[in-house]
Structure 1
Amino acid sequence: MIPQSTGQVEPLSLIKHIQHSDDWRTQLRNAYRSPAQLLAALDFDKQQILAMTAHDQGFNTLVPHAFVQKMSKQDANDPLLLQVLPQAAEAIAHPDFNTDPLKEASFNPQPGVVHKYKGRALLITAGHCAINCRYCFRRHYPYGEQRRARSEWQQSLNYIQQQTDIEEVILSGGDPLALTDGQLFEIITAIEAIAHVIRLRIHSRLPIVLPARITPDLCKRLANSRLDCVMVVHANHANELDEDVAQACNSLRQHGVLLLNQSVLLAQVNDSLAALKGLSERLFELGILPYYLHLPDHVEGTTHFFVSLERGQHLVAQMQATMSGYLVPKLAREEPGNSSKTVYASH
């Protein structure tokens, strides 16, 4: 369990120490855990903080120092801040927005496993992340019901062993890289023992928000795996991709890990041609291929992030008209009950 911080604003010297700590666990333990603490670090005054922190809607704030360092000071419209700061709009109810928009419970053959797509199975490996994004489609997910003792992991592995059509195992969460090396390596070793599994895919935001997590030991373990390793990172804006992220991604690539990115199209964050072009170009500089641009899921508490399908198609069409095809992600949406993502043509 990650210890809670005091909620007080740390001295600048301590912030710098945390930011440059090589121990990612120290950085995670000292992440900002209240909106007021976060805003104070960005030099908002007391009155501004009071006005901007009256909207906590029950989804805990969690933001690492490394991510906050990329934000502009005193900018309430900073695209990174908007992803993590609670907003009054989270209280807006809408009949089309609910707590399980993808109906994942219907594809949950047993706790900890989501078997929705043919040939692939997803393991919920962790019930926590290094950052709590306000648009998260699993912000209401019952992680407590999915959390099991180590001995019960064998049930999930037995399920994968029995489903011989499963060639790829996807580690998700929460965030699988929020696990310790020992926990993560144990899971990888167990998956490697299943003969019909040939690929391991890790979905993680940590290389972007907490790049210190990409340690030499992690890179070596992935390089030595018999499985083909793919890591799908999650960045929504070019400002997230600083030099520390570049170094982390370079380490993964040097150890044979294929890097892809999936983004979420978010109102006021990246719903412009300039933002999307800047993101794709910066990703490519870092050796990451733009993969999917997801239309936001209809998650309760996220109506203010909504971008229409028509708007998304128009933006992708603009990208296609001005960029090389390999820089243009596929516009997609997860539809409840479908056996694969729905990919949309541009307009």
Structure 2
Amino acid sequence: MSVTNLIRVRPQWQQELAQSITDPVELAQQLELPQGWVEQHLGARKLFPLRVTQYFVDQMERGNTADPLLLQVMPQADEFTQQPGFVTDPLEEQDNEHPGILHKYKSRVLVILRGGCAINCRYCFRRHFPYQDHHFGRAQLNQLIALVEADANINEVILSGGDPLMANDTQLDTVLTALEQLPQLKRIRIHSRLPIVLPSRLTQELAKRLQQSRLQAILVLHANHANEITPALMNALKVWSNAGITLLNQSVLLARVNDDAVTLAELSEALFAAGVLPYYLHQLDKVAGASHFSISDEKARNLEQQLRAMLPGFLVPKLVREVAGEASKTPL
């Protein structure tokens, strides 16, 4: 193979990404799900397309329509249910002064680095987000630099999306190099679901680049169930942990997925075994199409109390809700 051809070979994670499943019927056939059950939900993909990696599907139980990983990605007829208070822009993010850049918190600025995801979670609070209007390119990077330079309070940049790890290592290096020139910045934070559904995305090259940065690097994962913490993920995370990258996790409380104390405790234990500290446990953002995942605040508080009785304090994530316009997360 020539050097030219070697350069053009896509990394493993991109090859796996290209093989993602987008057809509910194909997913159902792989998982040996009843045809009648699949057909009653097919219409929901028109509201929000199905997208899931083969790796994530491989962690699901065959024949189980209640599998907690399946429920997070399979279109559901319940998404057509309209509930009061569930809206398309629950955090009021879609109209902002700088497209692709959200300055909600005093010391942090959040960047919608990439609009795409490797997986379409049915409860995603940005499932209706107009990513096409929030492209992040060179012009937006220059705006970000200007915004940080104009506000001495900002000391951290959060890369979000979509999923920021949909950007390749070269693109991330460009952003990181630019941010490293701003002396007031202390940290770079990456919020990503990708490692959970595609562990190969945690490349050694990116870990090394972050290790070499003068900015302290933090990776905030998004896992909701212990079944998502696999040996493949643990091996990949160990490389990043050894590179000095802080590993945290935030979860969302989801009816029928993780709304019991034993399941949540198992998740915290699995995360810690993988070198990840539980960080936030979010009440569901009230996004249209996801009301069937919602649980009451009373139940959420009871779950937190049970967790405190079951786990050491450092394994109990903070129970919070994000409220549009508030300067920080709101504890329940």
TM tier relative to shorter chain: over 0.9
Aligned with residue 289 of structure 2, among 269, 280, 301: 301
Distance 1:55 1:141, change over 3 A: closer
Secondary structure class of the residue paired with 1:212: helix
What amino acid maps onto 2:260 in structure 1? S
The change in CA–CA distance for 1:78 and 1:252 in structure 2 (over 3 A counts) is: same
**Does 1:243 pair with 2:231?**
yes
Q: CA–CA distance in 1 between the matches of 2:26 and 2:94?
A: 35
- Distance of 1:171 and 1:109 partners within structure 2: 18
Contact 1:32 1:65 survives alignment (8 Å): yes
Residue of structure 1 in register with 2:99 after alignment = 111
Name the structure 2 match of 1:33.
22
Alpha-carbon distance, 1:43 to partner:
1.9
Kindly indicate whether residue 61 of structure 2 is the aligned counterpart of residue 72 of structure 1: yes
Task: Report the RMSD for the aligned CA atoms in angstroms.
Answer: 1.4
Which runs of 5 or more residues in structure 1 are unaligned?
1-20
Aligned 8 A contact 1:57 1:91 in 2: no
The match for 2:123 is 135
Distance 1:22 1:43, change over 3 A: farther
For the 8 Å contact 1:208–1:241, the answer to whether it is kept is: yes
* 2:326 pairs with 1:341: no
Q: Quick one: distance in 2 between partners of 1:214 and 1:148?
A: 22
Task: Return 5+ residue gaps in structure 2 as ranges.
Answer: 1-9
**C-alpha distance in 2, partners of 1:260/1:152?**
27
Provide the secondary structure at the position in 1 that maps to 2:114: coil
Spell out, residue by residue over 1:289-338, the C-alpha distance to the aligned partner (whole angstroms, 9 max, x if none): 01000000000000100011110000010010121111111100001111
1:56 aligned counterpart, secondary structure: helix
State the 1:48 CA deviation: 4.3
Q: Secondary structure of the residue that 2:207 maps to in structure 1?
A: helix
CA contact (8 A) 1:102 1:336 kept: yes
Q: Which residue of 2 aligns with 1:94?
A: 83
* Aligned mate of 2:72, from 78, 83, 98: 83
User: Partner amino acid for 2:259?
Assistant: D
Does structure 2 retain, via aligned residues, the 8 Å contact 1:112–1:156? no
The one-letter amino acid paired with 1:23 is: Q
1:254 — aligned with what?
Answer: 242
Match of residue 261, structure 2, among 264, 269, 273: 273
Residues 152 and 118 of structure 1: CA distance in aligned 2, closer, same or farther (over 3 Å): closer
Structure 2 counterpart of 1:216: 204
Written as runs of structure 1 = structure 2, the 5 A alignment for 1:128-167 is: 128-167=116-155
Deviations 1:90-135 (A, max 9, x none): 01112201011111245x3311110001100001100111111000
Match of 2:181 in 1: 193
Partners of 1:150 and 1:235 lie apart in 2 by 31
Partner of 1:104, secondary structure, is coil
What SS does structure 1 have at the residue aligned with 2:45?
coil
Whether the 8 Å CA contact 2:112–2:136 is kept in 1: the answer is: no
Deviations 1:22-67 (A, max 9, x none): 6000110110012112111112254443344243242111100110
Aligned to 1:17: none
Structure 1's consecutive aligned runs of 4 or more residues displaced over 6 angstroms after TM superposition are none
Match of residue 123 from structure 1? 111
* Equivalent AA in structure 2 for residue 228 of structure 1: Q
- Equivalent-residue separation in structure 1 for 2:88 and 2:38 (angstroms): 29
C-alpha distance in 2, partners of 1:327/1:152? 38
Judge conservation of contact 1:168–1:198 (CA < 8 Å) in 2: yes
3-state SS of paired residue (1:172): strand
| Counterpart selection for 2:38 from 35, 39, 49 | 49
Q: Which amino acid aligns with 1:326?
A: F
Distance 1:86 1:49 in 2: 9
Give yes or no for the alignment of 1:263 onto 2:251.
yes
Pick which of 53-62 and 297-306 moved more.
Answer: 53-62
Q: CA deviation at 1:142?
A: 1.0
Q: Secondary structure at the match of 1:231?
A: strand
Aligned-residue sequence identity (percent) comes to 46
CA distance in 1, matches of 2:310, 2:265: 9
Rounded Cα–Cα distance in structure 2 between residues aligned with 1:277 and 1:194? 40
Alignment size in residue pairs: 323
Deviation at 1:215, TM superposition (A): 0.8
Structure 1 residue matching 2:85: 3-state secondary structure: coil
